[in-house]
Structure 1
């Protein structure tokens, strides 16, 4: 998955995790509030009853020191608290163990509205202080709930991650990409995945049918074009109008070149590349011969001119460069083969006025035409030549470039990866 897919999946996972965590905290707060509201009155009533019970017990034995002291000892032993008994003037009557410096419980002992004394109790001093006994279970409970929320969030976000990955793959041109949803996933995600896979399958089939039709039609057009060229030669031998025949011959050549570009584009779409070891010098020489430019300069500046590629596609790219120089640069001055690091560069120097600002990128866009007058329309150019060169170069691990030469004119070319032990792996459908 790409960076965008990872980012989307991570954000969804974090949002789910955060919302689950906040829901747990909110639920705990609501439960605590309800328990406090519902149980507060009950605890207060129970506390008052205990205070009344203890006060009555001491009231009964207040005048009998032995029984009073025994009651103090019994409360201290059974409840594990420290107890102090004071009379009405505050004088200490009896105490268990150490004194209560901060009594948690202070209860007056009364009889017929008169205060007999008071009972003070403290338990924090006599019981072992262990905050972990209360904090640790709370922390562990929160951790368990938080981990459960994280696992649930990840489980819910995983199908979305897979759908994002498949969508990005399909958008980048990998039409065989499908969303692989686990069998246990049901509901909306499963329905969405099935719909996506069905859509991707139909798109793949439709594109394959269109490319197959394009390849078949382009191939079939070659036969009538060849016959037309034969017929023009026969008419020329039979005394036909040379000017008219030259014009027909030019149109046939243009149509043949256009069909060649369509076939090359179809091969790239299908990924039908046939890589083999090639020699850059031989490729360049053959391209000049086919273009009828055997007298043009061929300059090979590379010590190692070997490469691995598809000869037909590379020949088409060189032919398009030479044709571009003829149409828009008043002819090719030289075809050069240069060494640029791990790449070989094929470039054509023309005799034209050069490139306008920004044209070094625009000329490689599909359907871009440098000329827009009658000459361009008559030539039948669709502006696909250099765009096809770019696709062929990228399929061979390189790219295209265009620049103005210091002495005038433009230099347009492309690079391909040089031959090596891993070169064939760089051939891809562009």
Structure 2
């Protein structure tokens, strides 16, 4: 999600920047076009008036060479241009300024409709051509506008950036994430940020209420379960039917296990882990004792058995592995502990018929209720045991696995990361699905 969010933010910023730049360019082109259309006729009219004025002035002094030459020099000097006066046969009569290599303006001189000659004007030869003079101001103006467009694009994209970050955080499980309402944020962005914060607050409250409810219900369920076990023991001592009492005991144990799995799942959902440095051998031995199995089933092949994790959750995962072997593998043959690089692996070898093709993955799916022989699992099983093992393993930087053994039976287990240097904690469970 992080990469996707960064791509969305960068793309939005680039698109805004590009559209602002193109808008500025299009505006400039429209302005130039309008000025040409509106000012073209005015410029032509002014040019025609100047032509008429110049023609009349030269017509007045045409027959007086001294005054004519003085007018040519005066115009050339005052306007800093080249002026040539020629008769109808194109003979040069007078010149002001430098010779014209190319005439840029020709003004015919007439008297009563009779042509007298022509006045030729050139000015490019006298004014140095420097393209930077015209290009540099345009470039600077465009650069300033482009920078303004970039700043405006960043300002518009910033509220979206804030919302995306808050959404990513909320999606990653940080329920206290809120979108910052920036000082200059107005309009729809401010409304959206406030709405998002209200939604996040409601979600956080609902999850907290659900967490409290689940904890309370689990506690209330375990209390009568404990009393029922005490009562069955009293009834057994008082001569009650052993078969009935054994059945009640099994149901109580099953209910207690289901409550334990729900509590463990809830802790993973809410990221309530209490990691500390543990000894893998001790965890495995305690799991065997709780399951009523001999500690001699423990086979340790790890020189370094230290790990960092939540003892309660890891104990639940080991109990689920042993229970899975009891139910579906006719009992556990061994609980093994191996060192695998930066991880420790716990796995149980059972005495069953092994896994069917494809079950290596399916048995870790929630509510998978088919056993390896294709028959329904026994009553009371929700199919959450191995799915919970996988979640606990991922919460401890590892992974669950299952495979068939070469000598028959199945091998089901999980890995956890070894204890790291001081200050290194268990990976967050927020990303665990």
Aligned to 2:45: 45
Aligned to 1:428: 428
Instruction: Give the total of aligned pairs.
Output: 429
Aligned to 1:355: 355
1:22, distance to aligned residue in structure 2 (A): 1.5
Aligned to 1:112: 112
Q: C-alpha deviations, 1:113-168, integer Å up to 9, x for none?
A: 11111111111111111111110101111111111011101100110111111112
Q: Which moved more, 1:322-331 or 1:419-428?
A: 419-428
1:373, distance to aligned residue in structure 2 (A): 7.9
Structure 2 unmatched runs, 5+: none
Q: What is the CA–CA distance in structure 2 between the aligned matches of 1:357 and 1:47, rounded to whole Å?
A: 94
User: In 2, are the aligned partners of 1:347 and 1:414 still within 8 Å (CA)?
Assistant: yes
Q: Which moved more, 1:365-374 or 1:332-341?
A: 365-374
Aligned to 1:168: 168
3-state SS of the aligned residue for 1:7? helix
Q: Which moved more, 1:73-82 or 1:412-421?
A: 412-421
1:209 pairs with 2:203: no
Q: Which moved more, 1:108-117 or 1:43-52?
A: 108-117
Aligned to 2:189: 189
Aligned to 1:74: 74
1:406, distance to aligned residue in structure 2 (A): 2.4
1:67, distance to aligned residue in structure 2 (A): 0.9
Superposition map of 1:87-98 within 5 A: 87-98=87-98
1:69, distance to aligned residue in structure 2 (A): 0.9
3-state SS of the aligned residue for 2:193? helix
Q: What is the CA–CA distance in structure 2 between the aligned matches of 1:347 and 1:309, rounded to whole Å?
A: 17
3-state SS of the aligned residue for 1:355? coil
Q: Which moved more, 1:107-116 or 1:52-61?
A: 107-116
Q: Which moved more, 1:261-270 or 1:340-349?
A: 261-270
Q: What is the CA–CA distance in structure 2 between the aligned matches of 1:300 and 1:185, rounded to whole Å?
A: 61
Superposition map of 1:23-422 within 5 A: 23-294=23-294, 297-371=297-371, 376-378=377-379, 380-422=380-422
Computed over aligned residues only, the root mean square deviation of the Cα atoms, in angstroms, reads 1.8
1:318, distance to aligned residue in structure 2 (A): 0.3
Q: What is the CA–CA distance in structure 1 between the aligned matches of 2:285 and 2:240, rounded to whole Å?
A: 35
Aligned to 1:17: 17
User: In 2, are the aligned partners of 1:82 and 1:122 still within 8 Å (CA)?
Assistant: yes
1:424 to 1:256, Cα distance in 2 relative to 1, 3 A: farther
Q: What is the CA–CA distance in structure 1 between the aligned matches of 2:394 and 2:29, rounded to whole Å?
A: 61
User: In 1, are the aligned partners of 2:370 and 2:376 still within 8 Å (CA)?
Assistant: no
Q: What is the CA–CA distance in structure 2 between the aligned matches of 1:118 and 1:54, rounded to whole Å?
A: 11
Q: Which moved more, 1:244-253 or 1:47-56?
A: 244-253
Q: What is the CA–CA distance in structure 2 between the aligned matches of 1:83 and 1:356, rounded to whole Å?
A: 105
Q: C-alpha deviations, 1:166-190, integer Å up to 9, x for none?
A: 1122122221111012122121111
User: In 1, are the aligned partners of 2:273 and 2:310 still within 8 Å (CA)?
Assistant: yes
